[in-house]
Structure 1
């Protein structure tokens, strides 16, 4: 053997053995690092990789749990439920090496996900930004925005002893911390203009044929896949154009940004998404080069898909009580892709009202809440800056439904309607102290008889009800309240929380 081949052979030997040794080194998921927040009151999984058959021991808060690494090099242990603690402690993980994580606290952990209005920076909301100076006990894990063609085991990011960048996520954390007085951990995983389909696991195609068709076409689209591969492998990073292209694809955000978060112990997930799915009323449109990114389910079906999506996420986290808090889309004055210019106050226009109705379907599932934003938003701006009330209302919902606090977390919710002497009497839940914010008569109510010709109703508050009438309608049958793109509303309860939009008719549009 000559010297050169020997050196080459030795190099190859050392390379592969070094690679094997490196791959068998004790490693944790990136979710487990300095400054992390662990969820209180439930089992806490801790996981990573190591050499097969190695014994791994995790020590934290007086607990010591061990396991043997599987043949695939993966391991996981579960800490018993922990008490909340602001006191920083160390977690030690021992295998063929030892890892010590510092500044670990225990409190409430939430994932905050969605599209641009969740991504919307705290720096763009002066009222929320002003709270940074008085914030404490809030930590965050910012999930890197990236994609993958396969479900990943690990996520890019790290815990920081600092609030999240999202205005909604920070506002939520701020007011929740003030109420609970324990550490709050936010895992922020959002990406502007992403659809529900972008965050859907591939196996949901078994339940929804439309999603199966989308994924089949995506798999067969060599040009798209090569473009994505080129962007994510670029040493210089991808351009803004490539960024938009990737985040509007199906499934691949879930693979890279959500799948590897499970089963990190958390209380729940805040979901502020839906704008991308409002471009059509129903079905999945045919697409072309100009509107390829609109190939998503419409408003009519969104609620059914969202319900299944929640059930699927709970399965991934192995937690049937994982709470999902959905942010209702706020006021906005544009219509669908086929008819964008609408009357934003009309109760019959094809507007975001239909998406809000769809979002409310999640309340059919246990351990869910919908935060009402019907009094917020901007008629002409899809990115309104009034994010502070959303954070406040999200915190109230979490206090009521996950911390079991005796608080009013919602405004009036429609219960039933009763006809009486040419009027309609509307009954609500959560109607204690029913009033209007401006002291005037309630607005935003429309009524009709069997002809379905809607008229603005004359409305007055009587106790905890609203009585509706119109001089030209002798036999009123149906009510629509705040059922418009950007309705005028003023009805609240004693907690100053707005009444939820609703309709009592079952008429749906024939077309857009």
Structure 2
């Protein structure tokens, strides 16, 4: 892709950029801003110099060309390599990986500059490093990661302000922030106190809407990158639908719920592509893994239940992004920890993200997804579930497939007896004579074992259109 190089100079100053045999010149505008675009470059591990000259000269050395990705989200993206033993074990064999750690800060205005430096080391994020590691190993090209994440941040924290025109709920949140002098003064005071702040203030800032985008994401555009890996959603699982009325103690709950999250996420992706002026910018969404708690209204649930208000509804919402081109959802339904919202099993996520990037952005003919629902066929008292990406369909423990539930018109869900038949799963339950609907792995922390020949897990799904009654 074309490579933008931009900066500031004196108004109308001539600026020339030289790199890899290319020379591009332009004049700064009245505001001093300038930009040139280098023609697409071949990947290269050989360090070269980039010279930017005008009234003065800047020389950037040790510049390589490769696959650049933004990795963003909340705490499970921020989750450190040191805390994920299997990912940490990869460090000694890592090579050709560079990272830019975006400083965690906020701003009430969209910023032009971001705080951070390129370094010749892997990113601090376990998921981002695992992804970069396996992508570099597969393609033997440099991988650069722009890491911009912050624990417990909501989708709204990373939304540009102009999305208020599309979402009245977001406008209401932003109007309240604009009018909240106490909050604004508190944040400005924290920012003016220097480089570090208390954990209490850290939490207070990162849970606000929009101001993370302003400081940590807006300045990255339009850096030439292949795509963005997004591992976020936990903050938006507190409620099933809508934006709740919250108390002074739960002010940070004021974010969209699971039901609407996917639609807002799709709009967010379109808006980011506009910011980068790149309609083919790939977005790889990390599905939320297994977890055993419910919503703020009812946190204690049966983690195996297909009807509980669990993270199953968020996963379904996340899958909506597949309506858009140049998107992928990395399945984590076999991962996670029932009691820990920060599971350590980050290694498979990195592997699967790399596979998705190879297939969808580098056009490699590989299997990058697990089985997905193709259709359900009625067979008397049984249902036959047919899958896409099902070559070599099997179970990892050689036992019968688990995690399937069936229901008739009464919508009373019963665990299904499941058996493999080639690339199809046959379902039945002795108490249901007319099965109509299927739910698979549709629970907070389901017990699953169905994979394809590439050992990638089957995606959760449901075939009914029932929306739960929220208590």
Match for residue 215 of structure 1 among 160, 174, 180? 174
Structure 1 counterpart of 2:297: 338
Residue equivalent to 1:96: 55
Q: How many angstroms apart in 1 are the aligned matches of 2:359 and 2:407?
A: 36
Distance 1:367 1:75 in 2: 30
Task: Tell me by how many angstroms 1:236 deviates.
Answer: 6.2
Q: CA–CA distance in 2 between the matches of 1:281 and 1:56?
A: 53
Give the superposition deviation at 1:493: 0.3
Query: What is residue 432 of structure 1 aligned with on the other side?
Result: 391
SS of the equivalent of 1:395 reads: helix
Select between 285-294 and 316-325 the one with higher mean Cα deviation: 285-294
Partner residue of 2:149 out of 170, 190, 194: 190
Cross-structure match for 2:192: 233
Point out where structure 2 has 5 or more consecutive residues left out of the alignment: none
In structure 2, what is the Cα distance between the partners aligned to 1:69 and 1:293? 42
| Alpha-carbon separation, structure 2, partners of 1:76 and 1:242 | 37
Choose from 307, 315, 325 the match for 1:356: 315
Aligned match of 1:28: none
Mapped pair 1:388 → 2:344: no
User: In the comparison of the two structures, how many residue pairs are matched?
Assistant: 471
1:486 alignment partner, SS class: coil
Partner deviation per Cα, 1:186-223 (whole Å, 9 max, x = no partner):
00000000000000000000000000000000100001
Q: Once the 2 structures are TM-superposed, how far is the Cα of residue 237 of structure 1 from its aligned partner? A: 2.5
Distance 1:280 1:473 in 2: 32
Report the counterpart of residue 5 of structure 1 in structure 2: none
1:111-126 to structure 2, matched below 5 A, reads 111-126=70-85
Q: Distance in 2 between matches of 1:202 and 1:150?
A: 9
1:485 aligns with 2:444: yes
Following TM superposition, where does structure 1 have runs of at least 4 consecutive aligned residues deviating by more than 3 angstroms?
none
Aligned residue for 2:321, secondary structure, equals helix
Q: 1:153 aligns with which of 103, 112, 125?
A: 112
Structure-1 separation of matches of 2:12 and 2:352: 48
Aligned pairs for 1:54-453 within 5 A: 54-235=13-194, 237-453=196-412
User: Displacement of 1:235 after TM fit?
Assistant: 2.9
Other-structure match for 1:6? none
Q: How big is the shift at 1:225? A: 0.4
Which secondary structure does the structure 1 equivalent of 2:373 belong to?
strand
Offset of 1:75 from its aligned partner? 0.6
Q: How far 1:279 sits from its partner (Å)?
A: 0.2
CA distance in 2 between partners of 1:409 and 1:81 (Å)? 27
| 1:416 partner SS | strand
TM normalised by structure 1 equals 0.92
- Normalising by structure 2, report the TM-score: 1.00
Q: Following the alignment from structure 2 to structure 1, what is the Cα–Cα distance between the partners of residues 255 and 222?
A: 28
Matched residue, 2:428: 469
What is the distance in 1 between the residues matched to 2:359 and 2:73? 23
Q: Which has the larger radius of gyration?
A: 1
- Name the SS of the counterpart of 2:290 in structure 1: coil
Cα distance, 1:511 vs structure 2: 1.1
In 2, Cα distance between equivalents of 1:404 and 1:304: 27
Q: Distance in 2 between matches of 1:422 and 1:287?
A: 48
What is the RMSD of the two structures over their aligned residues, measured on CA atoms?
A: 0.5
The whole-number CA distance in structure 2 between the counterparts of 1:327 and 1:414 is: 19
Q: 2:352 aligns to what SS in structure 1?
A: helix
Q: Secondary structure at the match of 1:179?
A: helix
How far apart are 1:421 and its partner, in Å? Answer: 1.6
Runs (5+) with no aligned partner, structure 1: 1-41
